[in-house]
Structure 1
Amino acid sequence: MFDPLLLPELREMLIEDDSPAMREFCAVFHAGVVAENLEGLPVADCWRVLSQADGRRRAEVFAYFSRARQMELVATIDKPHLSALIEVMAPDDRVSLLKNMEASQIDVLLPLMAQAERDDIRKLLSYPDHSAGSIMTTEYATLHSDVTAGVALAQLRTQAPNRKLIYYIYVIDEARHLIGFVSLRKLILAKPETPISDIMDRDVICVRVDEDQELVARKIARYDFIAMPVVDDQNRLVGIVTHDDVLDVLQQEATEDVHRMGGVEPLTDQYLESSFVTLWRKRAMWLSVLFLAEVFTFTALAHFENEIAKVVALSLFVPLCISTGGNSGSQAATLICRALALGQIRLGDWARVIWHEFVMGIALGLTLGAIAFVRAYFTSEKVLGTADPVLLAAVIAQTVAAICLWGTLVGSALPLIFKRLGIDPGIASSPFVATFVDVTGIVIYFSIAKVYLNLG
């Protein structure tokens, strides 16, 4: 965590050019703590401190910087030092960085790296965004099934320093086909002469390299794994997705869902790091669409101007009635979108979902309708004019009940429809549902009023 007391010490180190103290600062604290405190320094000073750390530690700290600070450092560091930094970064971290860099920058840096790193970078960059391949790392431990536990531990000691995670060791054949895995705990507890084939788990749960990252995250969460093996179409092991990358994916996907449900195009950068133009564009687009849709509310009201003129009190209850539908629809849309995201419901469950929300809509409508009846009935005679309070209360009560049911059905159906069409259900957000129900709610309201109050 950020410690404001460390910043003065860092500045003093820089003034005195105390390299040993800078090196110790980078080595003693957690890489994330080092990064958070260095973010408080100007870019040039940040690099002066970071450059004192050894290469691998430098890469660990760099991975914790915000994207904006990483890009600032990329523009500051000379190419040989930058290529050396990227070369020792974890494969998934460096690919994430390179995807935010210009192609021309990458072309300059790649020739400065070792051939193995160049090949690894090109392979990982070739996978589609948001796929398992785009977030996996190629740093994992492997064994063959014909070795013993004792030999396996000796091999693991050699592999471990260059591997991101060794809790699971994956068993492969000569063609790198994934045939099993063994946990480090089981390996340590086994007798040295025990063959790996006797202690490995053959029922391997894995993901395909082109599988969507959200599905990968869901699998890891479901099976409570620390890492998930990634295979190609021939079941050859190509990488692993680790729990820390899954946390990033879940945060990213949840953020996108929340943004869409608020009627905002998802931001690619943090809020304070996004430019004014970017924020304006992402917010103005959906606001413009929703505003144009709300124009139909005016059209609907204009269509019923004669009814409003006959019973002016009807206009006073318009906000009450249509907001009920928007609120109930937003509730339903939120529940269904989240259930779809978590895999709690599937498209095949549409009939159960609609029936469930139909019954719920009736129950909610009756509850709110009763409250609306009481409120409308006790409206003062001065406001009601010549309108019958009982009839007006009945109109308001039935309208609230009908619009609540309608809003609930719309809010539950739209996410399912969008999902079926291949559109992100998050687009069936609260503002979208509320806008749609506003327009249709006015039609429902005045149609009921015409029948009860003989306004035709």
Structure 2
Amino acid sequence: MDAGLLHRVDEFLRTRSDRALRALLLTQDAREIADVIDALEYGKRKVFALLPPETQADIVMLLSEGSRESVITRLPDDIIARLLYFLDEDDATDILQELPPRRHAHVLQGLKEDRRKRIEKLLTFDPETAGGLMDLHFIEVDPRTSVSAVITHVQEYAKRHKQVPVVFARDAQGIKWISARTLVSSRAQVEAGALSKPIPSLASSTDREHVLDTMNRGVSDVACVVDEHQKVLGVIHLNDLLRVAEAEASEDVYRMGAVGLLDSSYLESRFSTIWRKRVGWLLVLFVAELFTFTALARFEASIAAVTVLALFVPLCISAGGNSGSQAATLITRAMALGHVTPRDWWRVLQRELLMGLALGLALGLVGYVRALLTPQNVLGDADRWMLGLVIGQSVAIICLWGTLVGAMLPLAFRKFGVDPGYASSPFVATFVDVTGIVIYFTIANAVILG
């Protein structure tokens, strides 16, 4: 972003030079204006309101979620209606969903009947589903229709709706897509059905994450949305999924970090909001960590007999937490990319079993050597070689255990319909901490205390 532009906008806001500010903004492109509005600490709505509605339409979807909500919710209904006139119906629906439902009717009254009905139809779908992602610009043609007739139909639609529609053709094999490039490069007398190719068909209630996965695996740029009777309701374009991909990636990162989802950017979110999003998970993890106290209390006699054992507790359990976090991250990402599914659990288990053994051997060797280097005044009556054996074995086994837990938990979560992102690094680390203590002192009791 241009820091000089931001400074000038801030200065015009401070001096209330609205005419000069408007003239300055109209010389900038949409991306620059959106970046400036996002960066402003105050005056976001005023800057946006100074722009003509066609410019507002160009920048509104480029704003961060926090800025967009701050601006849109404070605009009068008639201003929002003029803005929606210049937006695609699916984007207009997204803007309306930023508003309280009680304002929808007042805003829609300012639109033409045909456009209003299309937006009202889109508002009936959950924004987190395929129905909430689709647009309504499509036409269905008979596969036997000639290319020239289809092109004429497309031109008439585009003239009427100011949008070029996606062309579908239905045959015995299902719904197929005819790309615009194929139409304009084919002979006029060719039947449209001969140019069509299969595309994904998605129920309107399909979750947007599944939509993203389906489109990533497909070979077409579009997918059709159908109802329970296989009637086409709308179309989803690949480029419409960019915001979805960003949102899904953010959700995964937040969940893997044990943080609640933020609706706005970090700097635009209130302190109380961020506190609330973080404290819930921290309390859950803190309560879970209290079980380490219970585990340590169970082995109080062992610690009293060989006090040096307590010094190696952080070393041993951190090996399991770190290896488990690694495995959880790898498997969660592999599932997100479609490389691994819960049906692959046996292959994953075999692979991670060998990996856990290899990692455990490497870390266990380091732990063994470190235990042998323990000063005599710290060892007390403990045997140096026995202590090294305990630490080496414990680190190796806990590392193996952490690796298996981290690999299997995301698969188990997905199997039972829970987002694998919840098998986050803190969650895995906490679970392995508690069980690692039990493994460590069980080995110590067997080797040193007999």
* Matching residue of 1:43: 44
Unpaired runs of at least 5, structure 1: none
Decide which of 91, 116, 133 is 1:118's aligned counterpart. Answer: 116
Residue 217, structure 1, aligned to residue 226, structure 2 = no
Alignment of 1:385-424 (within 5 A): 385-424=380-419
Give the TM-score taking structure 2 as reference length.
Answer: 0.90
Decide which of 185, 199, 210 is 1:189's aligned counterpart. Answer: 185
2:407 partner letter: S
Decide which of 343, 364, 368 is 1:369's aligned counterpart. Answer: 364
2:195 partner letter: I
Residue 317, structure 1, aligned to residue 319, structure 2 = no
Shift of 1:449: 0.7
Check whether the contact 1:293–1:435 (CA below 8 A) recurs between aligned residues: yes
Decide which of 105, 110, 115 is 1:107's aligned counterpart. Answer: 105
2:349 partner letter: I
In structure 2, C-alpha distance between the alignment counterparts of 1:284 and 1:210, rounded to whole Å: 33
Decide which of 431, 435, 444 is 1:440's aligned counterpart. Answer: 435
Decide which of 422, 429, 443 is 1:427's aligned counterpart. Answer: 422
Check whether the contact 2:199–2:220 (CA below 8 A) recurs between aligned residues: no
Give the TM-score taking structure 1 as reference length.
Answer: 0.89
SS of match in other structure, 1:207? strand
Check whether the contact 1:418–1:424 (CA below 8 A) recurs between aligned residues: yes
In structure 1, C-alpha distance between the alignment counterparts of 2:275 and 2:20, rounded to whole Å: 45
Check whether the contact 1:228–1:240 (CA below 8 A) recurs between aligned residues: yes
Shift of 1:68: 2.9
Check whether the contact 2:48–2:56 (CA below 8 A) recurs between aligned residues: no
Check whether the contact 2:72–2:80 (CA below 8 A) recurs between aligned residues: yes
* Matching residue of 1:86: 84
Check whether the contact 1:127–1:133 (CA below 8 A) recurs between aligned residues: yes
* Matching residue of 1:255: 250
Shift of 1:131: 1.0
Decide which of 265, 268, 276 is 1:270's aligned counterpart. Answer: 265
Decide which of 25, 28, 31 is 2:27's aligned counterpart. Answer: 25
* Matching residue of 1:148: 146
In structure 1, C-alpha distance between the alignment counterparts of 2:174 and 2:26, rounded to whole Å: 42
**Identity, % of aligned pairs?**
38
Q: 1:8 to 1:331 in 2, by over 3 A?
A: closer
Shift of 1:114: 2.3
In structure 2, C-alpha distance between the alignment counterparts of 1:235 and 1:447, rounded to whole Å: 60
Check whether the contact 1:170–1:178 (CA below 8 A) recurs between aligned residues: no
* Matching residue of 1:169: 167
Count how many residue pairs are aligned between Structure 1 and Structure 2: 443
2:179 partner letter: S
Shift of 1:15: 3.3
In structure 1, C-alpha distance between the alignment counterparts of 2:123 and 2:222, rounded to whole Å: 21
1:127 partner letter: F
Shift of 1:367: 1.5
Check whether the contact 2:356–2:403 (CA below 8 A) recurs between aligned residues: yes
In structure 1, C-alpha distance between the alignment counterparts of 2:244 and 2:45, rounded to whole Å: 31
In structure 1, C-alpha distance between the alignment counterparts of 2:155 and 2:4, rounded to whole Å: 40
SS of match in other structure, 2:50? helix
* Matching residue of 1:134: 132
Alignment of 1:343-382 (within 5 A): 343-382=338-377
In structure 2, C-alpha distance between the alignment counterparts of 1:364 and 1:87, rounded to whole Å: 60
Deviation track 1:61-95 (CA, whole Å, cap 9, x = no partner) reads: 22222233333333443322221212432222222
Shift of 1:357: 1.5
Check whether the contact 1:140–1:164 (CA below 8 A) recurs between aligned residues: no
Shift of 1:143: 4.3
Q: 1:165 to 1:300 in 2, by over 3 A?
A: farther
In structure 1, C-alpha distance between the alignment counterparts of 2:195 and 2:80, rounded to whole Å: 44
Check whether the contact 1:178–1:237 (CA below 8 A) recurs between aligned residues: no
Q: 1:97 to 1:296 in 2, by over 3 A?
A: same
In structure 2, C-alpha distance between the alignment counterparts of 1:449 and 1:209, rounded to whole Å: 58
* Matching residue of 1:34: 33
In structure 1, C-alpha distance between the alignment counterparts of 2:216 and 2:426, rounded to whole Å: 31
Q: 1:165 to 1:302 in 2, by over 3 A?
A: farther
Unpaired runs of at least 5, structure 2: none
Residue 60, structure 1, aligned to residue 61, structure 2 = no
